[in-house]
Amino acid sequence: MKANDTEWPEMRLHPVGMVRNDISKPMMVANDDDLELRERIEKVRENRDKVRNTVSELLLEPEMAELLEGVEDFSHILVIYWPHLVPPERRKLKKVHPMGRKDLPIRGIFSACSPARPNPILITAVRLLERNGTVLRVQGLDAVDGSPILDIKPYVRSYMGVENPVVADWMEKINKELEDDPAAEDVSS
């Protein structure tokens, strides 16, 4: 492989562990969804809330025990994992409507949160609840059961935090829709 006239060696990744939880299918998939917007947002909101409360176990290989020393000193960690249910043909997508929504502008994969990527490596910041040997209990991981774990890092706000990030208008629209509470709307009319 060549990039900028640099020869890259072949890269091989080996899982360090596996995710165990009750999430059987990904929240977002790269396909057409004909649900109406209101139903879709409600379903996405429901799934997001479920994921936020889901407790997962990260089952690491026994030889990873030494690498975990001190991880329990952190309240949050980053879990880097491979979305193993994304079929290879979906990894060739170059552009998508974010969240499959036709009302949003089509964008390149690198500007979307789609799991369909050339190298589908996903990262989630999660709350670390407990460490028991090579098993970590975490809350808020959006990986499906059986997902291979590629790496774990501590979440360090001073290192990873960004001041005043700017996001695309369409992403702000999604965030606002997800945060709007339909129960708080005026029902007197």
The mean pLDDT values, 10 residues at a time, for the chain of 189 residues are 72 95 79 42 80 95 97 98 85 80 86 84 96 98 96 90 87 85 47
Query: Does a structural domain hold residue 70?
Result: yes
Query: Does a structural domain hold residue 4?
Result: no
Q: Which domain holds residue 124?
A: 11-156+167-178
Query: Does a structural domain hold residue 1?
Result: no
d(CA 189, CA 29): 37
- Say whether pTM exceeds 0.75: yes
pLDDT of 162: 81
pLDDT of 63: 96
CATH number at residue 151: 2.40.30.70
Determine contact, residues 60/136, Cβ cutoff 8 Å: yes
Query: Does a structural domain hold residue 73?
Result: yes
Q: Which two structure tokens, joined as six digits, stand for 48? A: 């997001």
pLDDT of 35: 27
DSSP annotation of 47: H
d(CA 124, CA 113): 12
Long-range contact pairs involving 96-104 (C-beta distance under 8 Å, separation at least 24): 96/30, 98/170, 98/171, 98/174, 99/28, 99/40, 99/44, 99/174, 100/28, 100/29, 100/30, 100/31, 100/32, 100/33, 101/37, 101/40, 103/37, 104/170, 104/173, 104/174
Query: Does a structural domain hold residue 55?
Result: yes
Query: Does a structural domain hold residue 162?
Result: no
- Of 60, 75, 100, 47, give the one whose Cα is nearest residue 155: 75
Domain count, the chain: 1
Determine contact, residues 140/52, Cβ cutoff 8 Å: yes
d(CA 83, CA 90): 12
Query: Does a structural domain hold residue 142?
Result: yes
Query: Does a structural domain hold residue 104?
Result: yes
DSSP annotation of 176: H
pLDDT of 188: 39
- Of 90, 71, 81, give the one whose Cα is nearest residue 15: 81
pLDDT of 128: 99
Q: Which two structure tokens, joined as six digits, stand for 13? A: 């990744």
Strand partners, 56: 138
